[in-house]
Amino acid sequence: MISAFNYPTEIKGKRKLYSLLKGVKNPLEVISGNHEIAGDNYYIKATLTNKNFIFSQDKEFIEYILKQNHKNYFKSEIQSFTLGKYLGNGLLTNNGKDWLKQRRLIQPGFSKIKIASLVSIMEEEIDAAFQSFDKEPEVDLNVFFHTLAFNIVAKTLFSSDIDENKVKELGKIITEVQEVFAKEVRLPFYSQILKIFGVIDKTIKKSKKSKAIIQSVLDKRRSSGEEKNDLLDMLIQARYEDTQLPMSDEQLIDEMLILFIAGHETTANALSFIFFEISQHPEVERKLKKEILEEGEGVFTPESLMKKSFTSNVIKEAMRLHSPAWAIDRQALENDSFQEYSWPKDTLIILYITGLHRNPRYWNDPNSFIPERFDDENAKNFAFYPFGAGPRLCIGEHFAMMEMVLIVRKFYKNFRFISYQKELEKKALVTLRTTSLKGKIIKNLT
């Protein structure tokens, strides 16, 4: 039967079987391999679920889905349902009018002015964490950055209303949820096995426990009557435009849980990749230290942290080579077409950001670490979307960039990092992470 739709090149036969099985453990290897075979856009039909998938690392196609025709695309059921059953109905999993309503309510809390007011909280956490380097010069920076980023989110969200043990418990639960979610998504029939063995029910219980922790913090804040000018205060005081009512506790907790995950996970993973790349490129480290010295006393001010700089170029280039948000998924609400391709409603679109960021069509020497490429006056038009694009551009982009610039500068003002690893093992879950970054911290002599 001839299809009424004109899909991109189809992956089929043995390669399709390989893709469906191997894609569970090594999605980057499989998707990159398929793009090498089929080009920047390809199609695959999942045999068991009968679902249509289009994968793309084409800049124009990606911009069409995320920008020009974004109204025809929801976050797919992968996130809205599968992840939503664990994390609730926050910005990450929500769709349509409900999502827009929440986005408008929360957006003011992430303005540049609001984020600038959080620098002192971030500094306090960073300085406290860096003290451990004097006693323990050997470190796994991947573990270190996950703890630090999580603590920063905890303090900027909750000030001092959550103790360290609860922060650790939340971190553990979030990691376990990601592991189960990744298995469900990669191999849909495997979710039945997880269900039979009670894994899904156990994970939902853990998720409820994390929400109970956040509820206790919320109750504590309300009973104290204190105002702390943190993100929790902003969320409590926010009112919907149409009704002037606040968020329900359930919605408030869902949003805080999402902010916890989005606010620490991608940042911690990005930092591991950033520090690895700096450790492999001594000339980049020298240039970074020179900039820190030249910035003088203003090096940690919000103005200096937020402006275009070599530090921000280093961060962008590391996020290009190792994109924490390695893929973006969307689901077509209606039949659609772009250029010569067409597809039916419900088609799942996987925008392969890792492939886009290393696509030789858009990048010279795409696999090399060259921070200076972002000095280009046309950099804002690069095929570069580490925080997504369009109306669903990550709400925490400025928060994350300021935090990362601050951490990089604070570290390299006082220390050096010698990596024991020449390569990083990558693990693609909801976000791309490395399994470890072991090395030695050396204090500057001057």
Whose CA is closest to 405, among 284, 319, 334, 314?
314
Bridging pattern class, strands 432-434 and 426-428: antiparallel
Angstrom distance (rounded) from CA 154 to CA 231: 10
Q: State the Cα–Cα distance between residues 267 and 319, nearest whole angstrom.
A: 10
**332: which strand partners?**
73
Structure tokens at 287: 């240039």
Looking at residue 54, its amino acid is I
Type of residue found at 119: V
Angle separating helix axes 164-186 and 199-224, nearest 10 degrees:
150
Distance CA 321, CA 337 (A): 30
User: Does 394 carry a binding-site annotation?
Assistant: yes
Which residue in 263, 208, 206 sits closest to 232, CA to CA?
Answer: 263
**Nearest CA among 210, 208, 199, 202 for reference residue 167:** 210
Evaluate whether 214 touches 257 at the Cβ level (below 8 Å). yes
Binding residues for heme: 394
Binding residues: 394
